[in-house]
Chain A
Amino acid sequence: GAVVSQHPSRVICKSGTSVKIECRSLDFQATTMFWYRQFPKQSLMLMATSNEGSKATYEQGVEKDKFLINHASLTLSTLTVTSAHPEDSSFYICSAGRATYSQPQHFGDGTRLSIL
């Protein structure tokens, strides 16, 4: 079964709305989670690394004030797209790994965000 749960799976909202996406590790503690963005038929682009109890580390070119990340517990990270606009429409996907670094990352099922 799924070890990383991402919610919601699909969001359609009006321009200017803020949207929160949740990523939960179900049966393990994840000190680090990752948020990716993916356009159709393209690769996953890492947006930021979410660190439990501290600030997220953003990749170059990603607006920190636009994409707010909170990792308040060892099992939950949230990505909030603030004042979303049509160009923010995309597929967002999170991943998390167990504390044993040799284990692979587990991915959530992704969130398809459509801004009208």
Chain B
Amino acid sequence: AQTVTQSQPEMSVQEAETVTLSCTYDTSESDYYLFWYKQPPSRQMILVIRQEAYKQQNATENRFSVNFQKAAKSFSLKISDSQLGDAAMYFCAYRRGDAGGTSYGKLTFGQGTILTVHP
């Protein structure tokens, strides 16, 4: 079974600075997707960024980028120029790439990291 581990229950950052959230995962599969979701106090789940395992290039979305180390099974999220609106709980998630079967689309989440942004 796949597992996702976020070892930082809480992190804090000063506004305009950079912070990195850690995530490691365990899988025996070669085809999979990795995601970072943001959950603000409203509790909406917002997709921040995603990475296909077969792509060597790290994904980027504006101020958000990942450091995907496939051999080390590591998938960290870097937030640059942090803003007050970035304060939320962040979840790392894994999804297998196989489209078949009833587990299609099933996400395995890490424990989450609460990010506080100080003005």
- Which A residues fall within an 8 A CB radius of B? 32, 34, 38, 41-44, 46, 49, 51, 57, 91, 93, 95, 97, 101-102, 104-105, 107, 109-110, 112
Stretch at the interface among B22-30, B62-70, B110-118: B110-118
Given A41-B112, A43-B109, 12 additional A-B pairs, CB 8 A: A32-B102, A32-B105, A34-B105, A43-B91, A49-B103, A57-B102, A91-B43, A93-B43, A102-B33, A104-B35, A110-B44, A112-B43
Task: Give the interface size class of chain B.
Answer: 20 to 34
3 cross-chain pairs, A with B, having the tightest CB-CB distances, nearest first: A101-B99, A107-B45, A97-B105
Shortest CB–CB separation between residue B111 and chain A, in angstroms?
Answer: 5
CA of A95 to CA of B104, assembled, Å: 12
Does A104 contact B50, Cβ atoms closer than 8 Å? yes
Bitwise interface map of B from 39 to 63 toward A, beta carbon under 8 Å scored 1, else 0:
0001111010010100000000000
CA of A42 to CA of B99, assembled, Å: 28
- Which B residues fall within an 8 A CB radius of A? 33, 35, 42-45, 47, 50, 52, 89, 91, 95, 97, 99, 102-112, 114
Shortest CB–CB separation between residue B98 and chain A, in angstroms?
Answer: 8
Does A93 contact B45, Cβ atoms closer than 8 Å? yes
CA of A57 to CA of B2, assembled, Å: 18
Does A51 contact B102, Cβ atoms closer than 8 Å? yes
Does B89 contact A41, Cβ atoms closer than 8 Å? yes
Shortest CB–CB separation between residue B47 and chain A, in angstroms?
Answer: 5
CA of A107 to CA of B93, assembled, Å: 13
